[in-house]
Amino acid sequence: GNSVTQMEGPVTLSEEAFLTINCTYTATGYPSLFWYVQYPGEGLQLLLKATKADDKGSNKGFEATYRKETTSFHLEKGSVQVSDSAVYFCALREDSNYQLIWGAGTKLIIKP
Amino acid sequence: GAGVSQTPSNKVTEKGKYVELRCDPISGHTALYWYRQSLGQGPEFLIYFQGTGAADDSGLPNDRFFAVRPEGSVSTLKIQRTERGDSAVYLCASSLSVPVRNTEAFFGQGTRLTVV
């Protein structure tokens, strides 16, 4: 079945460091891929998405590229800020389905 | 309202009691979803409504769980005879229509249910 695997957290970085959060997936078809973010005390928000291979999603300085050959959708940011501290979820959705399949989430802690 | 609204934000109940969790989706959104998120895990799908009907309830864990959406807007998730294992954050999301590649689901802040 479909699944999403994320790197375990927490990930702790200093401000202005480079961020990578790994995400790999298994799917039977050609899913859309998503990164959601959950800031403390808030609901899940869509951060970025990509709907086909080689697409790059980007938002708020974050980027992720849909890599079909490695079944990956790693999240990157060149210079993180304290305000980026949150839990990040990778998710997929098959074309023929409406369910989002989620990774376990990665907690990111940015220290000043 | 501007976003998906869930009430209550927190609910503590005793084992064996009945609870109702409410979701008010974004106005005009025909698709509504319930997910459950246990501590340290990603959300798990429970049920999906298209309009008033439950198009897919395959994620409901057992017959103690039931959800309705009688007028195609507000939805209520009902849990009978609650158990400690039901403790989780219950998330509601809505989207404009049946999801296609560019459809975004918007999430509420969730209801944290604690069964003691």
List all residues 6 or more positions away from A107 whose beta carbon is below 8 Å from its beta carbon: A9, A10, A11, A86, A87
Distance from C-alpha of B96 to C-alpha of B105, rounded to nearest angstrom: 8
Confidence of residue B103 (pLDDT cuts 50, 70, 90): confident
Are the Cβ atoms of A102 and B110 closer than 8 angstroms? no
Portion 72-101 of A in contact with B at CB < 8 A:
89, 91, 93, 95, 98-101
**Each residue of A6-32: pLDDT tens digit?**
998 899 999 999 999 999 999 988 899
For residue B1, what pLDDT is reported? 53
**Each residue of B22-55: pLDDT tens digit?**
999 999 999 999 999 998 889 999 999 999 998 8
Distance from C-alpha of B48 to C-alpha of B32, rounded to nearest angstrom: 6
The count of other CB atoms within 10 Å of the CB of residue B18 is 11
Portion 26-65 of A in contact with B at CB < 8 A:
32, 36, 41-46, 49, 51-52
Are the Cβ atoms of B43 and A102 closer than 8 angstroms? yes
The helix or strand, by DSSP H or E, that contains position B89, with its residue range, turns out to be strand B88-95
**HSE-up (13 A, CA, CB side) for residue A27:** 27
By C-alpha distance, the chain B residue nearest A99 is B45
Confidence of residue B96 (pLDDT cuts 50, 70, 90): confident
Confidence of residue B100 (pLDDT cuts 50, 70, 90): low
If you average pLDDT over residues B44-73, what whole number do you get?
94
Distance from C-alpha of A29 to C-alpha of A27, rounded to nearest angstrom: 6
For residue B102, what pLDDT is reported? 66
